[in-house]
Chain A
Amino acid sequence: MTGGTWLRVDFIACDGRGLCAEALPELITLDDWGFPIVSGQALPPRLLADARATVRACPRLALRLDAGR
């Protein structure tokens, strides 16, 4: 797998606090119950730093960055 990085949600850990969607609205929206819907696209390089910060900010440690699909 070359290049790309993807944002992933661990839905078992996620409680739907919603911080991620506020911190990274370019890539994360919320479903009708307040749980994150993450863009299926590889992270654009310009958002990589913001994505890392968002991963660190998740109070449930439910977000991570994965290399490859």
Chain B
Amino acid sequence: MTAGLVLAGTLPRLLPPEPPGLAGLAGHTARYGPPPAVPGRRQRDALIAEVGLAGLTGRGGAGFPTARKLAAVAAGHAPVVVANGTEGEPVSVKDRVLMACSPHLVLDGAVLAAEVTGAAKAVIVVHRDVREIIDEAVAERARARTDRVRLEVRTAAQGFVAGQASAVVQWVQRGVPAPTATPPRLAQRGLRGAPTLVQNVETLAHLALIARYGAAWFRAAGTPDEPGSMLVTVVGAVREPGVREVAIGTPVGQLLDLAGGASAPLQALLIGGYFGIWVDAAGALARPFSSAGLADLGAGPGAGLIVALPVGACGLSETARMMRYLAGESAGQCGPCVFGLPAIAGQVERLAEGRGADLGLLRRWLGQVDGRGGCAHPDGAVRLVRSALRTFGPELPMPPGGGR
């Protein structure tokens, strides 16, 4: 391993330092050093093992162990890598910020992922806001002849479900950003039938650093069970909303402080964005931002999102608006999602507006939709509404007759 140009334990690792250094590939190489070569089987297996030791997990939300995905895809014949920078979640901007600030780190990661899995090509699917930056970075690498892997850039589809792994593959393959049924797993049969590694762009950036500096370096930040740093988007009632890079396990209150602190007394936090859950603000501030720290609240770090809701704002109205959005973002393939989400959104709207919502019916529909789609879209929507009922429940207006 190269001696760490980026000191172990210091942050940021992925985002630019203060003051920022040189731009472009030259600046990137000056900061991080060149990525290691992985020419043969032995080096490939060693890097996958190192990623496993590092304990890197997917930063797109699902948190799956990256080494296991790499190994599964590497076992297949003629695989392909897809770097997922779709970022369809409306609150999140961390993938765009990363791709804009550190495009070469993401591309290093995509190239390394291709090399360790034996893929000849990596498709970089990017949010349209950063398409030009990535194009320019790819062109710069082509001129410098840095890569033995072919890089192909595609503008991501828009829409909430478009970032789901199988939807990204369908988008690249046939221009339709809709999830497909599992099985088969993408690692077995994905893009045009090839074993496919779909990995979030932030995950790939971490991979590029683990390849350089090793597992112990990576583990110098974070907790023993959830090592490393992660990008977090903090928005809502904070003074300086935006993206911060933090060690996993940093207390939630400290994340808000990094975003300039609360701009008003806080009522609740939405942890995880549109796929997240509402929690009482006071009870969450001391919690470590990690799976272990948030588990008993029913939340998790996911794709790194916190929305701060001030006292006086109506959590149910916010939830109703989000739920209506999620209903509209269904890929339209599965009945329970197509019919259930608008029905649920309607009840949450009635609830928020005090128009006599039928809570019994709402709970029945939540139960009928949960877990019954080709992807996790309906499950996430149900989780959001259930958390709103828990968190904002005491204020529930009772319908005439006491409801049921």
Q: A32-B365, A32-B368, A37-B368 are in contact. Are A11 and B336 (CB under 8 A)?
A: yes
Are A35 and B336 closer than 8 Å at their CB atoms? yes
Is A49 among interface residues, defined by CB-CB distance under 8 A? no
0/1 interface trace, chain A 1-16, chain B, CB 8 Å (1 if under)? 0000000011111111
Is A34 among interface residues, defined by CB-CB distance under 8 A? yes
Number of residue pairs spanning A and B whose beta carbons lie under 8 angstroms apart: 43
Q: A31-B368, A32-B368, A37-B368 are in contact. Are A12 and B336 (CB under 8 A)?
A: no
Is B188 among interface residues, defined by CB-CB distance under 8 A? no
Are B334 and A11 closer than 8 Å at their CB atoms? yes
Is B146 among interface residues, defined by CB-CB distance under 8 A? no
Are A14 and B335 closer than 8 Å at their CB atoms? yes
What A residues does B336 contact at CB under 8 A?
Answer: 11, 31, 33, 35
Are A11 and B368 closer than 8 Å at their CB atoms? no
A12 in complex: contacting residue of B180, B343, B365, B368, CB < 8 Å: B180
Are B368 and A10 closer than 8 Å at their CB atoms? no
Are A12 and B181 closer than 8 Å at their CB atoms? yes
A11 (CB) vs chain B CBs: closest residue: B334
Are B340 and A14 closer than 8 Å at their CB atoms? no
Give the Cβ gap from A49 to chain B, nearest Cβ, in Å.
Answer: 24
Is B339 among interface residues, defined by CB-CB distance under 8 A? yes
Are A33 and B340 closer than 8 Å at their CB atoms? yes
The A-contacting residues of B in range 349-404, CB under 8 angstroms, are 364-365, 368, 372-374
What B residues does A15 contact at CB under 8 A?
Answer: 335
Cα–Cα distance between A10 and B365 once the two chains are bound (Å)? 19
What B residues does A12 contact at CB under 8 A?
Answer: 179-181, 333-334, 374
A35 (CB) vs chain B CBs: closest residue: B335
B335 (CB) vs chain A CBs: closest residue: A35
Give the Cβ gap from A36 to chain B, nearest Cβ, in Å.
Answer: 9
Instruction: Count how many chain B residues have C-beta atoms less than 8 Å from C-beta atoms of the other chain.
Output: 17
A11 in complex: contacting residue of B343, B364, B365, B374, CB < 8 Å: B374
Are B180 and A11 closer than 8 Å at their CB atoms? no
B181 in complex: contacting residue of A10, A32, A34, A37, CB < 8 Å: A10
What B residues does A31 contact at CB under 8 A?
Answer: 335-336, 340, 368, 372
Cα–Cα distance between A11 and B181 once the two chains are bound (Å)? 8
What A residues does B373 contact at CB under 8 A?
Answer: 11
Q: A11-B372, A11-B374, A12-B374 are in contact. Are A33 and B335 (CB under 8 A)?
A: yes
B182 (CB) vs chain A CBs: closest residue: A10
Are B374 and A33 closer than 8 Å at their CB atoms? no
Q: A11-B374, A32-B365, A32-B368 are in contact. Are A16 and B335 (CB under 8 A)?
A: yes
What B residues does A37 contact at CB under 8 A?
Answer: 368, 372
0/1 interface trace, chain A 42-65, chain B, CB 8 Å (1 if under)? 000000000000000000000000
Give the Cβ gap from A34 to chain B, nearest Cβ, in Å.
Answer: 7
A37 (CB) vs chain B CBs: closest residue: B368
What B residues does A9 contact at CB under 8 A?
Answer: 372
Are A33 and B334 closer than 8 Å at their CB atoms? no
What B residues does A33 contact at CB under 8 A?
Answer: 335-336, 339-340
Cα–Cα distance between A35 and B340 once the two chains are bound (Å)? 11
A13 (CB) vs chain B CBs: closest residue: B181
What A residues does B179 contact at CB under 8 A?
Answer: 12
What B residues does A34 contact at CB under 8 A?
Answer: 335
A10, A14, A33 — most chain B CB neighbours (10 Å):
A33
Cα–Cα distance between A31 and B368 once the two chains are bound (Å)? 6
What A residues does B180 contact at CB under 8 A?
Answer: 12
B179, B334, B335 — most chain A CB neighbours (10 Å):
B335
Subset of 24 A-B contacts with CB under 8 Å: A10-B181, A10-B374, A11-B336, A11-B372, A12-B179, A12-B333, A12-B374, A14-B334, A14-B335, A15-B335, A16-B335, A31-B336, A31-B340, A31-B368, A31-B372, A32-B339, A32-B364, A32-B365, A32-B368, A33-B335, A33-B339, A33-B340, A35-B339, A35-B372
Other contacts beyond A10-B181, A14-B335: 20, CB < 8 A: A10-B374, A11-B335, A11-B336, A11-B337, A11-B373, A11-B374, A12-B179, A12-B334, A12-B374, A14-B334, A15-B335, A31-B335, A31-B340, A31-B372, A32-B339, A33-B339, A35-B336, A35-B339, A37-B368, A37-B372
Could you tell me which B residues sit within 8 Å of A by CB distance?
179-181, 333-337, 339-340, 343, 364-365, 368, 372-374
